[in-house]
Amino acid sequence: MIAMAIALEPKLLIGDEPTTALDVTVQKQVMNLLADLQAETGMGMVLITHDLGVVADVADRAAIMYAGRIVETGQIRDVYDYPAHPYTQGLLNSIPSNVSSGKRLTPIVGSPPNLLALPTGCSFHPRCPFATEVCRTTVPPLREPVGWPPGHAAACHRTEEVLSHG
């Protein structure tokens, strides 16, 4: 599939779950191949994945999506090292290699919402440990707080508290 896509010399390659169902070794090979092709051809690349670990080494920027909206975006190291949205923190805490040996993984409670009947306010509020009343009524804008690295933004009313907690 990758060979067929590259044969057309695209300016932009969109990889939707490019490593799903592959074992870890082949995943690494595929990601290295994509990185080499990108460097060689200069094409843009958008990778869509549920596995943050897979893209950590090859992506420049990350956009974390929940219920159809971007809830956090930034340079990949800023997002991974300083997650500023509770959903991003939950995703990172669910990766086994991020958790010390002997410690339990911390799952995100609850289930994803019905996209046809989203919760009011912040869509993540029924699952969020930081939720307050304003979260139930008002959709948080994607904002870049003063003092943050340029381009690192989160859609959360309580980003500053979340960041200090993480």
| Site residues for ligand SF4 per CB under 6 A | 85-86, 122, 124-125, 128, 130-131, 135, 140, 156-158
Least distance to ligand SF4 from the beta carbon of 151, Å? Answer: 19
Least distance to ligand SF4 from the beta carbon of 124, Å? Answer: 5
**Cα separation, 139 vs 137, whole angstroms:** 7
Q: Which two tokens stand for residue 142?
A: 């994607």
Least distance to ligand SF4 from the beta carbon of 80, Å? Answer: 18
Q: How many CA atoms lie within 13 A of 43 on its CB side?
A: 21
Kindly tell me which of 15 and 83 has the beta carbon lying closer to ligand SF4: 83
**Cα separation, 86 vs 92, whole angstroms:** 10
Kindly tell me which of 19 and 159 has the beta carbon lying closer to ligand SF4: 159
Which run of H or of E encompasses 14?
Answer: strand 12-16
> What are the two backbone dihedrals, phi and then psi, of residue 71, each rounded to the nearest 5 degrees?
-105, -15
**Cα separation, 30 vs 23, whole angstroms:** 11
Kindly tell me which of 18 and 83 has the beta carbon lying closer to ligand SF4: 83
Least distance to ligand SF4 from the beta carbon of 65, Å? Answer: 13
Kindly tell me which of 18 and 86 has the beta carbon lying closer to ligand SF4: 86
